[in-house]
Chain A
Amino acid sequence: MKRFRTEVAVIGAGPAGLCAALEAHKLGARVTLIDENALPGGQLFKQIHKFFGSKEHLAGVRGYEIGRQLLKDLERSAADVMLNSVAYGVFAPNTVGVVQRGEHYAIEAKKIILAAGAKENYMSFPGSTLPGVMGAGAAQTMINVNRVLPGKRIVMLGSGNVGLIVAYQLMQAGASVEALVEAAPNIGGYGVHAGKIRRAGVPILTSHTIQEVYGDGCVEGVMISQLDQNWKPIPGTERAIAADTVCLAVGLNPMTELAWMAGCAFTFLPGLGGHVPMHDANMRTTVPDIYVAGDITGVEEASSAMEEGKLAGIAAAASLGYLDDAGAELRKNEVRARLDSLRTGLFGEKRQTAKQEQMRRMEEFCQRKDRV
């Protein structure tokens, strides 16, 4: 086992982790960025669509272009980057266990920023383990990163933004999307995304669900049926759709294992994807030297993940003395204002409410702890 020390260890080199590492490094902290993949960037490199929001949120810029810029900034920096490196545990005192190509490292950091992201939810139904049934994110990685088409005839389950965007990108990559199936009575994602695939002739079947996926050793078709007001299948509405691939876009949940292991206090917020580590306005958890940023704090978007990363990076560097209190507050407030403006509109507001509830519970937790 090799041991070394660093000032700020950042786990996860997606949008949140990259921004956290860059920000802390820019302020003078010694940073080690750890990611299990061969390349940094996380999900950014599969996001070939343009971002929404305002100019300072890089609206109109495509995800992978943002990723490239961040990687350039990272290359120019002197931050240590450990790739192909699995951070498997957080131990006392402030030590991250990492395995890189069979080599074992114990990295002792003054501050640890957890930016592990989120993972896709799965759904089980008869045939859900057949080859050809996959997460929509997996299909997106195949087409946009690896340039491999997972199949020719796709059925997408779920009409949130992931389902809508990936369905469109699968068509751009040359596949035919046979149907987009949504159990709710309304489309989940942005109208502008839904409009694009509607105009391309893809039926979006709301109040429908997958009964079964059938096939001999691989996906050959999907049996769907209509749902009534109580989300129960209506007998007689079953219909078969020929397909070779089924993509599941049924939500994400935060990858919180390291935060659990580090002893962070959690709270349950369905609006953010389930159990999330509580954090304060500096992204600091209930364990004083551990910060969180991005989807691990609740599933949102790359733009808010980047801002949360910056906030955590600034806060961690400031706590190490690289910024005075007034300077730190100024920078942090800029980021907080951008985060607030990202969390507006029909979709943003829901997240803003959930985030505010999270913050309220964190305050309550700290007060209770003080009293004890």
Chain B
Amino acid sequence: MKNADVIVIGGGMIGLSIAYWLTKKNQTVLVLEKGSTLAAGSSGAGDGHIYHNTKMPGYHTNLGFAGGEMYPSILEDLEDDCGFSAHCGSYLLCNDEKEYEIVEKATRKMQEGGMDIRMLSGDELRQQEPCFSKKIYGASYAPSGGKLDPLKLVFAYARKAAGRGATILCDAEVTGVVIEDGAVVGVETPKGTFYGGAVVDAAGSWSGFLGKAAGLYVPVKPRKGQIVVSEGCAPMLKGPVTTASFFCAKFYPEMMQMFRRMTKELNHGTAIEQTSSGTILIGATNEWADFDKSNTIEGIEWLVAEACRAIPALRNVHFIRTFSGFRPYTPDHLPMVGATAHLKNYFFATGFEGGGVSLNPAVGRMVGELICGEELTITNAPLAPDRLVKPFGEATDEELKANLPLGIFSA
């Protein structure tokens, strides 16, 4: 009666990485995606930074670093280079001394955790990446930072997993969770009810809805990021770049006060990347807009203006397209990975808030090991879901309002 050993909900890079690792361990896997294509959510709307300077110092950074180092062997197994560029270095830009001090403090913590991250003066930065404006005061630099094409990665994972027997269904939104004796046994979709030995929530921004269907309070809500895309350009920037305000918006919201008005309003941090095809991606705002995906005139203007401030040569480049996507936000800025005491055989791998590109390799392996009862290569303890997850009925009105999408109240 079982359709698969494991049902994975969500066809993004987290869900597919998990499917990749589980099929590698000879599990039968069913992936259910609500969209009409894979990578329909954050995975298809982000940049491809393998970024170590923008994570929370300590465990979170180290997990991303481990993920980055896993890529070469994974990509070899996937037989697809996915536009991967290893060790091109990643930068976190500081406009002035004040930002530099904040970033330096975080960098020191990362160094204590064993990470190779250094502080660069403005001149040192420009020696490595000459395109940067003289106005940039300095930067933190992670030599191990890299980049890849997230869309290609999702489809390469999918091809490999399918080749090893996984079934992948699109247009299969999970509308109900089947529970027997306190354990999940299956899920309901418009394409039928499917039964499995374990169920994994890899639904990203939509995890709040899925949680409710399972009777759980899963505090994840969408945080919009707008991105602007340029025409293809000659190589000008090797490594991916983010500004200090991005880092602060994510981990130190109280520090956003020191930034310019629009940066504060849009919770903005500039992230710039030149892809392997030459186009330049400029992200991204950090806005609360529920699931409103529209681009705004203010958002686009600010993105382009800030990027041109950091890299003056961009003033001569045509920007040809804009889009936006949702990062799954959690109240403590850390993802949820692992089992829950509230529902047997139900696992979480959600809430990555834009960190999926660096985190998915280690997380996929972690979930694979958890489900198969193996010893963990890296502990999931700091990400254990039950620090946030509880039965839906036990969440207060304030928690529901603050940490779930608006639609949860009409759903």
Contacts and interface: CB of A to CB of B under 8 A. Distances in A.
Interface in B289-315: 294-298, 300-301
Interface residues of B, number: 8
A88 to B, nearest CB: 9
A97 B297 CA distance: 7
Contacts of B322: 89
A192 interface: no
Interface string B273-299: 000000000000000000000111110
B125 to A, nearest CB: 28
A91 B294 CA distance: 8
B295 A104 contact: no
A1 B299 CA distance: 12
B179 to A, nearest CB: 34
A104 B296 contact: no
Interface string B310-330: 000000000000100000000
A91 B301 contact: no
B300 A97 contact: yes
Contacts of B300: 89, 97
Nearest to B302: A1
Contacts of A97: 297, 300
A91 B295 CA distance: 7
B315 to A, nearest CB: 9
B295 A1 contact: no
Contacts of A104: 301
B314 to A, nearest CB: 13
A92 interface: yes
Interface string B156-167: 000000000000
Contacts of B296: 91-92
Contacts of A92: 294, 296
Nearest to B262: A1
B293 to A, nearest CB: 11
Nearest to B320: A88
A299 interface: no
Nearest to A1: B301
A95 interface: yes
Q: A interface, how many residues as a size bin? A: under 10
Interface string A87-106: 00101100101000000101
Nearest to B295: A91
A1 B294 contact: no
A97 B295 CA distance: 12
A95 B297 CA distance: 8
Contacts of A106: 297
A97 B300 CA distance: 10
Contacts of A95: 297
A104 B302 CA distance: 11
Interface in A182-237: none
Contacts of B298: 1
A287 to B, nearest CB: 13
A89 B298 CA distance: 12
A106 B300 CA distance: 12
* Max chain A C-beta neighbours (<10 A), residue from B295, B297, B301, B322: B297
A95 B298 CA distance: 11
A92 B296 CA distance: 8
Nearest to A91: B297
B284 to A, nearest CB: 18
Nearest to A106: B297
A89 B294 CA distance: 12
B266 to A, nearest CB: 13
Interface in A61-104: 89, 91-92, 95, 97, 104
A89 B320 CA distance: 11
A77 to B, nearest CB: 28
Contacts of B301: 1, 104
A89 B296 CA distance: 10
Contacts of B295: 89, 91
B129 to A, nearest CB: 26
Interface string B110-127: 000000000000000000
A305 to B, nearest CB: 27
A95 B300 CA distance: 14
Interface string B185-228: 00000000000000000000000000000000000000000000
Contacts of B297: 1, 89, 91, 95, 97, 106
Interface string A102-117: 0010100000000000
A157 B259 CA distance: 58
A104 B303 CA distance: 13
Nearest to B322: A89
Contacts of B294: 91-92
A361 B284 CA distance: 39
Interface string B389-404: 0000000000000000
A327 to B, nearest CB: 36
B304 to A, nearest CB: 9
A97 B296 CA distance: 10
A290 to B, nearest CB: 15
Nearest to A108: B297
A92 B300 CA distance: 13
A106 B322 CA distance: 17
A106 B302 CA distance: 13
Interface string A159-200: 000000000000000000000000000000000000000000
B41 to A, nearest CB: 21
A82 to B, nearest CB: 16
A352 B29 CA distance: 55
Nearest to A90: B297
Q: Which 10 pairs of residues, A with B, have the shortest CB-CB distance? A: A91-B297, A97-B297, A106-B297, A1-B301, A104-B301, A92-B294, A95-B297, A91-B296, A91-B295, A89-B297
12 contacts: A1-B297, A1-B298, A89-B295, A89-B300, A91-B294, A91-B296, A91-B297, A92-B294, A92-B296, A95-B297, A97-B300, A104-B301
Interface of B: 294-298, 300-301, 322
Given A1-B301, A89-B300, A95-B297, 11 more contacts: A1-B298, A89-B295, A89-B297, A89-B322, A91-B294, A91-B295, A91-B296, A92-B294, A92-B296, A104-B301, A106-B297
